[in-house]
Amino acid sequence: MLKRIVPDEFVQSVYEIDFNELQRRGVKGAIVDLDNTLVESTRPDATPKLVSWLDQLQGMGFKVMIVSNNKRTRVSKFAMPLRVPYIHRARKPLSPAFKKAMRKMKIRSDQVVVIGDQLFTDVLGGNTLGLHTILVVPVSEAEGFFTKMNRLAERLVFRWMRQKGLLGWEDQK
């Protein structure tokens, strides 16, 4: 059960993900969380660096969809100027939003990667469906109440992962 919250990869930020390698493995799309994965939860729009990153991915042929548990107002105001499709109030880690994202992108489960900053929403949701999951370090410490509660539980899980030798990366959160 606990192995469902172990990510396939861990990186410091979305900018460190090797999309050339993912592309070689047949990945064609990315389901990406918004808050504290792409930008701080308090930032209303994309940074120039993020815009460039998204342009690069789309230029490589990747389909990108933002899947967020946040409200429509927050997610749409961020995603629409970028012309990136999105799903708001996703209720991650439940499966329907992940399945809907794959249908909208017209890709199979073996062609998608899930990128996010939380074990109990992004990683658990992706792993439940057998998707490739990448955990990133949160870009900010500014978080809501429920996310703070998740972070407390995550610390316990990281301790367990460390004890079981399941951490495949050098610098743990």
CA pair distance 68, 31, nearest whole angstrom = 10
Q: Which helix (H) or strand (E) holds 96?
A: helix 96-105
Tell me how far apart the terminal alpha carbons of the chain are, to the nearest angstrom: 21
pLDDT at 159: 74
Contact 93, 125 (CB under 8 A): yes
Quick one: DSSP state of residue 112? E
Q: Which of 106, 113, 95, 100 is nearest to 21 (CA)?
A: 113
Q: What are phi and psi of 48, to 5 degrees?
A: -55, -35
Residue 20, classed as helix, strand or coil, is helix
CA pair distance 40, 22, nearest whole angstrom = 25
Contact 127, 5 (CB under 8 A): yes
Instruction: pLDDT tens for the chain, 173 residues: list them.
Output: 567 888 999 999 999 999 999 999 999 999 999 999 999 989 999 999 999 999 999 999 999 999 999 999 999 999 999 999 999 999 999 999 999 999 999 999 999 999 999 988 999 999 999 999 999 988 876 666 666 677 667 777 767 777 777 665 544 44
CATH H-level, domain 2-164: superfamily = HAD superfamily/HAD-like (3.40.50.1000)
Domains of the chain, by residue range, sit at 2-164
pLDDT at 168: 59
Per DSSP, what are the bridge partners of residue 66? 32, 86
pLDDT at 39: 96
CA pair distance 116, 97, nearest whole angstrom = 14
Q: Which of 128, 169, 173, 153 is nearest to 31 (CA)?
A: 128
Model pTM above 0.75:
yes
- 36 CA to centre of own chain: 9
